[in-house]
Amino acid sequence: MTKTRSPRFTARYGPWAVITGASDGIGREIARSAAARGSNVVLVARRQDRLEALAQELQSTHDVEARVIAVDLTETSGVERVLRETGGLDVGLLAAGAGFGTSGPFVDVPLEDERTMLELNCGAVLSLTHHFARRFVDRGRGGIVLLSSIVAFQGVPRAAHYAATKAWVQTLAEGLRRELAPSGVDVVASAPGPVASGFAERANMQIGAALKPELVGAATLDALGRSTTVRPGWLSKLLGYSLATLPRFGRTLVMSAVMGGMTKHQQKPDRDRSTLPSSGQRQAS
């Protein structure tokens, strides 16, 4: 979905947007959607080659300025570099799209993988959101996009810690939306269902029906300033609202069956846990 330039959007959230996880999936599509609306973009992820290719695309297609910061946001130095290199820019929008997931039995996933996911999905989001929220309050306007998930609203067996990180993001977004609104700062949580991106492969899941990332990116920015939580696309709405009719334990039972299907290929008889490979992988963006 392509949007035309929007002076109203850039007046409130421009002229610069910082987008993490921009080398792939939803983060990349949020960057494309922001640039299509007229925002200059700072693209943040680990893979410099992909970031540079996207920067060239956005500059030629939308006639905006695009800067690249290739860093690992699980490291304090990576977050600090983002803050340092954006300090002189009039940033009005933060989209924290970087993240990854793990799957499979909690006791089988190496603790280091879970700690790394926690640092990226929550720690880096905390540091960036705190910094830019302060700037936006001083600025008198701005927007923050946080990436939640359909798994954020209940416990999810075989993705227990990943779901917990997204529940943290969802709760943060809900609280900040009301807290920052009087200062002119909009906050939205984007809670999509399965998305056709590199996420499933990195999380060692097999996903059937999935949304296109470009649909999620555009719908998320459309909801900024209008909603607390957006469930972009028909699949997100179908799954989200169907689960919402159930009590919390019922949602957990349903998600247990869903995640069991997505991770069925991992299940082997007579497993030796000491030799199992990691079912969670570092975020490739």
- For 129, residues 6+ apart whose C-beta sits below 8 A from its C-beta are 94, 96, 144, 146, 172, 176
Q: Is 230 helix (H, G, I), strand (E, B) or coil?
A: strand
* Catalytic residue, candidates 13, 162, 212, 237: 162
How many Å apart are CA 276 and CA 234, to the nearest integer?
37
Instruction: Say which residue the tokens 């304090």 belong to.
Output: 76
The distance from CA 87 to its chain's CA centroid, rounded to whole angstroms, is 23
Let me know: does 153 contact 243? Beta carbons within 8 Å: yes
Tokens 């949020």 sit on residue: 30
Instruction: With CA atoms as reference, report the closest residue to 44 among 94, 10, 112.
Output: 94
Q: Which of 3, 166, 241, 268 is catalytic?
A: 166
Question: Using CB atoms within 10 A of its CB, is residue 241 exposed (0-12), middle (13-18) or buried (19+)?
Answer: exposed
DSSP 74: T
Strand runs labelled E in the chain: 16-20, 40-45, 66-70, 91-96, 142-147, 185-190, 229-230
Q: Is 166 a catalytic residue?
A: yes
By annotation, the residues acting in catalysis are 162, 166
